[in-house]
Amino acid sequence: MAASVIRRLNAYALTFRLPIIIWQAIFFIGPLFFMIAMSFFLVKNYRMVEAFEFKNWDKMLSRNYVWDSYWYTLGLAALSSAVASLVAFPAAFALAYRSSESVRRWAIFLLIIPFFTSYLVRTFSWYVILAESGVINAGLGYIGLGPYTMLNTMFGTIIGYMTLTLPLVVILQTVSLASVDRSLIQASQNLGCPPWRTIFAVILPAAKTGLIVAALFAFILSFGDFVAPYYLGGSKPPTLPILIIDTTKAGQQWPRAAVVAVIMMVTLFVVAFTAIMLAYRKRGSK
């Protein structure tokens, strides 16, 4: 009797779990394996030929520019993640603790709205703002400053990354901060904790999981983004997603592009795994 109940429960659970398992198998695991296999293929006469050779790995791993791109992309994504987290925190804090329920709801709605428009369009709109003849430099010109070069620089790339990640990070941080047990905050205040110490000793540890997940999302999105470093950073120097495009543009080297993609996937797995470990690590555990 008990066994049949368990079986029925499993079937019930499976009904809900199966679609996501099938989805992941078809659209993630399958393509991932194909990409790994493709990294061993060869290109002959501009056409991919099935093979199992390490030539592409040898070639890509021995090139300095690949490693230059790798470290640059990694650093840029880490910087983006840090900047997004820091810039988002005051806004999220205000929404979580200093705003009414309706203001918070409206703010989250407004933060979602940018996702209704194409990211590419939003990126191109920065041209009008950041160009030397753009809005910011025009404003600075009135007070005798500038013009400053902002497009085709690392600053431009980070602005692009913020366009992509900041709304999401604010939303995740807001939800995370709003979920912190208020009695803990009140207790720290009652015990005479100054506000900054309440933030660092109570709120941040309590909201740690959400804050790390938000930063992780910013990292993942920035690490794989092609648009911002290409259109606002001027591909100078190129990041790994740009290197993938460059590789495919020259002689149909999709297998070599697959090598770069696998390197990116492995990096993201390591970063995500480490972040999740940190996020869910209990206080005092080793």
CA proximity to 217, closest of 167, 265, 154: 167
Q: Is 279 in the site for other proteins (CB under 8 A)?
A: no
Q: Is 33 in the site for other proteins (CB under 8 A)?
A: no
**Residue 42 bridge partners (DSSP):** 49
Give the C-alpha separation, 96 to 177, whole Å: 6
Considering the complex, state which of residue 22 and residue 135 has its C-beta at the smaller distance from other proteins.
135
One of 99, 209, 252, 267 touching other proteins (CB under 8 A)? 252
The runs of H, that is alpha helices, within 29-181 are 30-38, 55-61, 64-97, 101-112, 119-130, 135-142, 154-178
Give the C-alpha separation, 104 to 94, whole Å: 9
Give the C-alpha separation, 129 to 232, whole Å: 11
Query: Interface residues for other proteins in 254-273 (CB under 8 A)?
Result: 254
The token pair that represents 85 in the structure block? 């987290």
Considering the complex, state which of residue 151 and residue 212 has its C-beta at the smaller distance from other proteins.
151
Give the C-alpha separation, 209 to 157, whole Å: 27
If residue 19 lies in a helix (H) or strand (E), which one and from where to where? helix 2-24
Query: Interface residues for other proteins in 41-70 (CB under 8 A)?
Result: 45-48, 63-65, 68-69
Q: Is 127 in the site for other proteins (CB under 8 A)?
A: yes
One of 160, 167, 238, 255 touching other proteins (CB under 8 A)? 238
**Residue written as token pair 């061993």:** 40
One of 56, 73, 85, 253 touching other proteins (CB under 8 A)? 253
Give the C-alpha separation, 16 to 260, whole Å: 35
> From the CB of 54, what's the least distance to other proteins, in Å?
17
Query: Interface residues for other proteins in 213-232 (CB under 8 A)?
Result: 230-231
One of 114, 134, 146, 224 touching other proteins (CB under 8 A)? 134
Q: Is 251 in the site for other proteins (CB under 8 A)?
A: yes
Considering the complex, state which of residue 33 and residue 127 has its C-beta at the smaller distance from other proteins.
127
The token pair that represents 154 in the structure block? 């690392």
Give the C-alpha separation, 33 to 134, whole Å: 46
Binding string, residues 70-89; x marks residues near other proteins by CB under 8 A: --x-----------------
The token pair that represents 86 in the structure block? 């820091």
Q: Is 99 in the site for other proteins (CB under 8 A)?
A: no
One of 24, 149, 186, 189 touching other proteins (CB under 8 A)? 149
**Residue 43 bridge partners (DSSP):** 48
Binding segment (CB under 8 A) for other proteins, from list 102-110, 148-156, 161-169, 214-222: 148-156
CB burial class (10 A; 0-12, 13-18, 19+) of residue 123? buried
Binding string, residues 158-187; x marks residues near other proteins by CB under 8 A: ------------------------------
The token pair that represents 221 in the structure block? 């999105």
Task: Let me know: does 253 contact 43? Beta carbons within 8 Å.
Answer: yes
Considering the complex, state which of residue 73 and residue 198 has its C-beta at the smaller distance from other proteins.
73
The token pair that represents 245 in the structure block? 């495009």
Q: Which residues bind other proteins (CB under 8 A)?
A: 45-48, 63-65, 68-69, 72, 124, 127, 131-134, 149, 151-152, 230-231, 233-238, 243, 246-254
